[in-house]
Structure 1
């Protein structure tokens, strides 16, 4: 193809199909032609598996390996992941410096935007055609329900980054992102933030209806959406919209049937989808190795990549110091670095990460976590606390924290003090899993690294981003601006 077509136009996978005469990458290694994908429900399921694989395959450059990489990008924009060495690798430093998301020509920005619209494009093919495909109705419901969940989730990820924050009770007429419900070559304008959230909730509600009764099976079962995952996404959306009751009830529904992991499992590397607490994640097998691209090549303690060997990840020293000594989560980082399983020749630094472990120093494979029961306890606790339901909030928080810390006693805090305790635990629990930037944005809090002793100002260059700053909105890639004349750029 001579013309690059992005997001709200023909979109990525369809653009690829025009050039390469293939449709969706399917699990594990093959692909099916576009016409074949809609020839039967069996083929449609194969195409759906291809969408699952989109979540973790490698893309154009190192550090671009699907949603795991995207989680790292967002967390680097916060204050809790630290690059501790002045002379170490500066891979992905543009995110930490708040530069990449404001550089219209940045490859990572182009990839990120393209990634979510690629998912939407693929989902639309199934959503808009599966009803006419030969095969059992039960299979059609599974395919369409999961495709709708993908479309709702991907639009949610996009609007959080490119739109202004959602404000409950306000009209939310600020520009969001293009809503793509059919694949078209016609450039689409930005829908309002309210319109995008309305469609997200519509897609998720329809997905819940279609997936009711569906039971996941197989070694890659948790790569699939079921009602638990969809309820979990609804809980996240409701939390962002400050719909506290829906956030709480959806979080409870999401974790139904899932138990919190043991302390031993907590220290086993966050790389195994069979963990009883994981609700949704990508199952990665050895022959799907994404080498130096992958999530674990950029977040693990032990993989032998230059970025980790010379610039191991560390936690915000102030945050770690505040974790009680009896809390198992404190052991996910080492105050001296002495016990971290570093790769050959790897540096040891204070407050060093060992939460995430790749399969080995030579194999960056690991299952990628997207949703855990712990997050759902935290959502329930925060939502109840904001409703003034202190006991319910304290109880939800206690269930989680007592599992991590046998010495923890149920909180008696109320009001803002209780919310602060919940948010503190959220930062510890979800470190490295992609929530810090969007949490700061939804909470309308500044990003501040001031007073954190192991952040190197000369390296990060950015200490504080105040609330309301235009830098909280990502810029649209220049390729999108060139191809889609209907779109309007965020303030420069």
Structure 2
């Protein structure tokens, strides 16, 4: 990692100043002449570095650090990847823009040379090293302590914890299905500069989880005396605050089976973020201004992600070939199980006509679509969906296609926000944690507000034992958080494999999905673990081919 660390460190001033697509940011001190002590001489400079880290979450990574590539735009790719890998976000046809089909077929994260493995690894360590530079400067005690500085401190610790949690959940065996005290984790780096002698080996999963806990506790303490996060604008929720730290601690605890901590932290995280109503839930998940969004990236209009964006990969209203030729569908077993009284069912179009003659299920085009007996009915339904969702006949349709994620400007390539954390997730975490503790009543109470908001006939009391309640909580997570990227980590925590053929089938094509059509559960299949980038093995003397997953 040593060579890569040096490359990442010199990008600090770039993060300070890259705020637009104008030319003026190019007039700067050369990066090799800037040191952290110069770049971080004040709270204002630290905030600029944080703003750069915020931007790195959604920018094309060629703009963020040496070795970045335009094919990935940070979490635009990695958030929906979680549902793409888990088989929740289903491809209806053969399209491979940005390697999205390759990911779905499990032919990317299983290769040490893949772009996804490399960029996810280096982006998260880039985040860690910038957080380290801020934390080191704060520890010097040379900058006056103010509420604003405490907010910066809280964000730095939170970012470091976020990056380590992301790394350990992708590049190591799941905590609950492995042996964390001996399973290899990822290198824990707590300095912004390292000599060759200071490079670190992988350590253990437990080492990483312990550091995450220390960082989140430090973040929560700092936020306790910090100035509050601004509110009222979409960009405000790009900044991290105490709710984000509590939410990440809830995720951390859930992933390791610390059920009591998960429940209490989730309850704290959602305070002040009321559940969305039906109109907001159906509005498209395209802005951080929604009431229950705790954290997300406000994607600025001048950021040229466009065909690298989250919505390009999975929103059926984005005007890109990945969508027009390959509308994304949901697992029909999930959709069919949604009660008719639950308004979330409305965003999945069960009877959309199969307009693509190259559809993977072989039922594309009128005459092959079993849902329609006349051309007129087929065409009328297509036109109705076009009108309702702002698309045209240049977009193919497919049964069970979704309109949960919708562009603010449907049929365009405009960038939209990325949502990372919502209060709904926190209700679900508390419910799952209390169910795992055997507290059926507590779990029902945690789940009731969410269920009753979404379903007019909801009655949580029918799930009156731990087994039935856990099954229901899993259903609610799959439905409420569908498309938001939680499928991969959920399946690892629950030790569930992928079986598109079971129980009537998901609607996925075995020919298209190949070996990913059925995948053994994570506890017996190490293919769930991302490969360490070959470039890291080549550069880091502490990580050898024997350390590869």
Q: Deviations over 1:327-370 (max 9, x none)?
A: 11112221133424435601011111211112322233111100
Q: Distance in 2 between matches of 1:317 and 1:400?
A: 23
User: Which one of 328, 337, 341 corresponds to residue 322 of structure 1?
Assistant: 337
Q: Is the 8 A contact 2:95 2:322 kept in 1?
A: no
Worse-matched range after superposition: 93-102 or 193-202: 93-102
User: Which one of 8, 11, 14 corresponds to residue 9 of structure 2?
Assistant: 14
1:345 counterpart residue number: 394
Q: Which runs of 5+ in 2 are unaligned?
A: 63-68, 353-381
User: Which one of 501, 509, 513 corresponds to residue 450 of structure 1?
Assistant: 501
Cα 1:445–1:78 shift into 2, 3 Å: same
Question: What secondary structure is seen at the aligned counterpart in 1 of 2:162?
Answer: helix
Please state how far the C-alpha of 1:27 moved relative to its aligned partner. Answer: 4.5
Q: Distance in 1 between matches of 2:476 and 2:269?
A: 19
User: Which one of 55, 58, 63 corresponds to residue 60 of structure 2?
Assistant: 58
Q: Which runs of 5+ in 1 are unaligned?
A: none
1:359 counterpart residue number: 408
Question: What secondary structure is seen at the aligned counterpart in 2 of 1:82?
Answer: strand
Question: What secondary structure is seen at the aligned counterpart in 1 of 2:302?
Answer: helix
Worse-matched range after superposition: 55-64 or 330-339: 55-64
Q: Distance in 1 between matches of 2:2 and 2:161?
A: 25
Q: Distance in 2 between matches of 1:49 and 1:68?
A: 17
Q: Is the 8 A contact 1:100 1:108 kept in 2?
A: yes
1:209 counterpart residue number: 221
Q: Is the 8 A contact 1:190 1:488 kept in 2?
A: no
Q: Distance in 2 between matches of 1:344 and 1:131?
A: 59
Worse-matched range after superposition: 195-204 or 325-334: 325-334
Cα 1:356–1:23 shift into 2, 3 Å: closer
Cα 1:180–1:24 shift into 2, 3 Å: farther
Question: What secondary structure is seen at the aligned counterpart in 2 of 1:208?
Answer: helix
1:302 counterpart = 2:320 = no
User: Which one of 150, 165, 169 corresponds to residue 159 of structure 2?
Assistant: 150
User: Which one of 92, 111, 119 corresponds to residue 119 of structure 2?
Assistant: 111
2:361 counterpart residue number: none
User: Which one of 273, 282, 304 corresponds to residue 288 of structure 2?
Assistant: 273
User: Which one of 246, 249, 255 corresponds to residue 231 of structure 1?
Assistant: 246
Q: Distance in 2 between matches of 1:345 and 1:4?
A: 49
Cα 1:349–1:25 shift into 2, 3 Å: farther
Q: Distance in 2 between matches of 1:59 and 1:23?
A: 12
Q: Distance in 2 between matches of 1:450 and 1:189?
A: 41
Q: Is the 8 A contact 2:164 2:208 kept in 1?
A: yes
Please state how far the C-alpha of 1:115 moved relative to its aligned partner. Answer: 1.3
Please state how far the C-alpha of 1:415 moved relative to its aligned partner. Answer: 1.2
1:163 counterpart residue number: 172
Cα 1:350–1:107 shift into 2, 3 Å: same
Worse-matched range after superposition: 286-295 or 28-37: 28-37
1:436 counterpart = 2:490 = no
Q: Distance in 2 between matches of 1:175 and 1:303?
A: 40
Cα 1:237–1:88 shift into 2, 3 Å: closer
Question: What secondary structure is seen at the aligned counterpart in 2 of 1:355?
Answer: coil
Q: Deviations over 1:220-270 (max 9, x none)?
A: 211111111100000000000100000000000000111000100011010
Please state how far the C-alpha of 1:377 moved relative to its aligned partner. Answer: 0.3
Cα 1:129–1:403 shift into 2, 3 Å: same
2:355 counterpart residue number: none
Cα 1:454–1:171 shift into 2, 3 Å: closer
Worse-matched range after superposition: 450-459 or 435-444: 450-459
1:175 counterpart residue number: 184
User: Which one of 484, 489, 492 corresponds to residue 540 of structure 2?
Assistant: 484
Question: What secondary structure is seen at the aligned counterpart in 1 of 2:176?
Answer: coil
Worse-matched range after superposition: 287-296 or 187-196: 287-296
Worse-matched range after superposition: 86-95 or 204-213: 86-95
Q: Distance in 1 between matches of 2:134 and 2:336?
A: 49
Q: Distance in 1 between matches of 2:100 and 2:177?
A: 34
Please state how far the C-alpha of 1:24 moved relative to its aligned partner. Answer: 3.7
Q: Distance in 2 between matches of 1:101 and 1:88?
A: 15
Cα 1:26–1:231 shift into 2, 3 Å: farther
Please state how far the C-alpha of 1:169 moved relative to its aligned partner. Answer: 10
Q: Deviations over 1:418-468 (max 9, x none)?
A: 001001110011111111111111122222222324201111112222122
1:40 counterpart residue number: 42
1:126 counterpart residue number: 134
| Structure with greater Cα Rg | 2
Cα 1:357–1:298 shift into 2, 3 Å: same
Cα 1:248–1:207 shift into 2, 3 Å: same
TM-score using structure 2 length: 0.83
Paired residues for 1:238-253 under 5 Å: 238-253=253-268
